[in-house]
Amino acid sequence: GAVVSQHPSWVICKSGTSVKIECRSLDFQATTMFWYRQFPKQSLMLMATSNEGSKATYEQGVEKDKFLINHASLTLSTLTVTSAHPEDSSFYICSARESKETQYFGPGTRLLVL
């Protein structure tokens, strides 16, 4: 199957700093990428949909000014957690859509905010 990479795989940062997470589709072009967040023992919750060349679509309750998404090319989307706080500590997973019914997940980024 197709490959989606995420970088970094884990990050520890101080409260108040910003963290950028990259999501890349390695062998296909993805006009749509998704950013999910997963807290312990919870399911994946969609945060936002990243659309190449246009603004991201944020789900209810997700602050667009705090979670900045940039989808600058057909193979790269970035999520920046600005002014991170301990409650932002979570497992962030991106996925890239290859077709309407097919999306591939990245390996995830574990964020710990101290």
Partner 1 sequence: GQNIDQPTEMTATEGAIVQINCTYQTSGFNGLFWYQQHAGEAPTFLSYNVLDGLEEKGRFSSFLSRSKGYSYLLLKELQMKDSASYLCAVPGYSGAGSYQLTFGKGTKLSVIP
93 sits near partner 1 (criterion: CB under 8 A)? yes
Query: From the CB of 2, what's the least distance to partner 1, in Å?
Result: 10
Query: Is 54 among the residues that bind partner 1 (CB under 8 A)?
Result: no
Beta strands in 14-108 (DSSP E): 19-25, 32-38, 45-51, 57-58, 67-73, 76-81, 90-99, 102-105
Residues 6 or more apart whose Cβ sits within 8 Å of residue 79: 20, 21, 23, 35, 47, 67, 68, 69, 92, 94
Cβ proximity to partner 1, 74 vs 105, nearer residue:
105
Shortest Å distance, C-beta 60 to partner 1: 5
Which of 11, 19, 25, 34 binds partner 1 (CB under 8 A)? It is: 34
- Residues lying near partner 1 in the complex (CB under 8 A): 1, 34, 42-44, 46, 48-49, 57-60, 91, 93, 95, 100-101, 103-108, 110
